[in-house]
Amino acid sequence: MEWMCRPDSPVPEAAEQLLASVPEWFGLPEANGDYIEAARSKETWTVKGEDGGVVGLTLVDRHFPHVAELHLMVVDRQHHGQGVGTAMVQAIEQDARQRGVKLLEVKTLGASHPDSGYARTRHFYEQMGFLPLEETDLWGDQNPCLFMIKAL
């Protein structure tokens, strides 16, 4: 199936459902609450399934005219490995280029943490052309934050 990713109105209820479908990635209630709250106001991109339900969601921040950040990207577990994430990144990249954005950024759990799920996440972003930039303690000592960037 070819997935279509489009800008959407804020959908905090979809964010909540999607986050709950992958607790091994998004298992911190406080962080999930922050993501759900962010889904009320941030630029939102969605992929919808055949039934019209949201199967993938990305929230985008635009810190400067030349930078866009994938603030949250989440895909329903049942749709992992089917191209939903790829469709989201490609659509957002195309839109960003049209707006004159030069860099796309994402933050994820760093490689110094042994989590195998986030190893898959980093691999996905690397396959999409993102490069590791810096690992910091932004999220605390137990959750190293890896900044990844992609030149557009």
111: CATH = 3.40.630.30
Q: Which domain holds residue 39?
A: 5-151
| Residue 27 pLDDT exceeds 90 | no
Greater confidence (112 vs 116) lies with: 112
The SS3 of residue 141 is coil
List all residues 6 or more positions away from 107 whose beta carbon is below 8 Å from its beta carbon. Answer: 69, 138, 145, 146, 147, 148
Q: Based on the structure, what is the number of domains in the chain? A: 1
Read off the pLDDT of each residue in 37-66 and give the average, rounded to a whole number: 95
Transcribe 12-46 into DSSP letters.
HHHHHHHHHH-TTTS--HHHHHHHHHHTTTSEEEE
Does this model's pTM top 0.75?
yes
Cβ–Cβ under 8 Å, residues 84 and 3: yes
Between CA 21 and CA 26, with CA 24 as vertex, the angle to 5 degrees is 70
